[in-house]
Amino acid sequence: MNYYYYIAGMADLQIDNLKSVPTLQSIIDDLSPMLSCGDLRVFNILRNRYDNDNLLSLLKDKQAEINPLGTLTREDWLDIIRIIEESNELNPAKDKRILPYILEFYKYFKQEESKIVFPQEHLSALYYQYGMSCKNKFVRNWFSFNLNLNNILTALTCRKYNWDIKSALVGDNIVVDTIKMNPNAKDFNLKSEVEYIDKLINISETTNLLEKEKRIDLLKWEWLVDNSFYTNFSVEKIFAFWLKAEIMHRWDNLSQEHGAEIFRSMINDLKKDVKFK
């Protein structure tokens, strides 16, 4: 489906200008009635990360505040939890609110609650698998990119502190297998599989945590630019817009001036590594 008029009117997001980005809620309000049913389902996969956070919060405290950027309300979640707990034979297809990975996580959580140290890690792994099964190639590749990026950074951190690498990796793909087979190689022998491996190694060596997070976001921004450049007026351009807006809003706790200053400085530092179109 072509979204010419909406895309033509989208703000031109500039990573060093936080004033240029609309609120995430306003983007949701615009897109929800406009997207086709199929495209809305894909968009909601991107929003499910907030649903994950909301579920974890409600499992700790049923009175917890939830993030409105998720696709489900508090009432939805409490109803879903009740339904799952009351029916061991629940078929997720009977209630479209219950995504397969949520059902799998919840049942695992209830069975292994006393043993799970980091339930968010297990939920994230299931979420990645769900995202990488998406029929939309752009979204599928975005999840794969993030999984590989996070696994490589995790492996680099584990190696630095002599922690076990294999147990820290999430998922099962060629990047994970290559890291496990080459844990002592500087780049894990990933140059043929991951073109940005040298950038990640440089990022991992950054000691300033804020700067490190900014560099990671810049790499994600570059991926979004590169992978949406030729999508013209298709829905992928809208998905990239949403994901860019998320990156920018992640730094709302900084002043706009301070955040822009940091971004400009880092963009200058990374010009030799990051090429924007």
Number of residues written out for the chain: 277
Cβ within 8 Å of residue 159, ≥6 positions away: 165, 183, 184
Q: Which one has a higher pLDDT value, 143 or 91?
A: 143
Q: What is the pLDDT of residues 238-272, one digit of tens each?
A: 999 999 999 998 876 554 555 556 656 655 554 44
- Max mean pLDDT among 18-27, 87-96, 235-244 falls in 235-244
pLDDT at 94: 75
Reading phi first (left if > 0) and then psi (alpha if -120 to 50, else beta), residue 189 is in left
Amino acid at 163: W
Q: What is the pLDDT of residues 45-62, one digit of tens each?
A: 999 999 999 999 999 898
**20 within 8 A of 245, measured Cβ to Cβ:** no
**187 within 8 A of 200, measured Cβ to Cβ:** no
What integer is the mean pLDDT of 135-162?
Answer: 95
Contacts made by residues 158-161, CB under 8 angstroms, sequence distance 24+: 159/183, 159/184, 160/204
Q: Which of 18-22, 125-129, 194-198, 239-243 has the lowest mean pLDDT?
A: 18-22
Q: Indicate whether 24 pLDDT > 90.
A: yes
What integer is the mean pLDDT of 116-138?
Answer: 89
pLDDT at 271: 47
- Binned at pLDDT 50, 70 and 90, residue 208 comes out as confident
Reading phi first (left if > 0) and then psi (alpha if -120 to 50, else beta), residue 232 is in left
**CA 178, 180, 182: angle at the middle one, nearest 5?**
65
Q: Indicate whether 277 pLDDT > 50.
A: no
Q: What is the pLDDT of residues 215-229, one digit of tens each?
A: 999 999 999 999 998
For the chain, give every domain's residue range.
Answer: 36-131
- Binned at pLDDT 50, 70 and 90, residue 110 comes out as confident
- For the full predicted model, state whether its pTM sits above 0.75: yes
Q: What is the pLDDT of residues 156-187, one digit of tens each?
A: 999 999 999 998 898 889 999 999 999 999 99
Contacts made by residues 174-180, CB under 8 angstroms, sequence distance 24+: 175/147, 175/148, 175/151, 176/151, 179/151, 179/152, 179/155
What is the distance in angstroms between the CA of the first residue and the CA of the last residue of the chain?
25
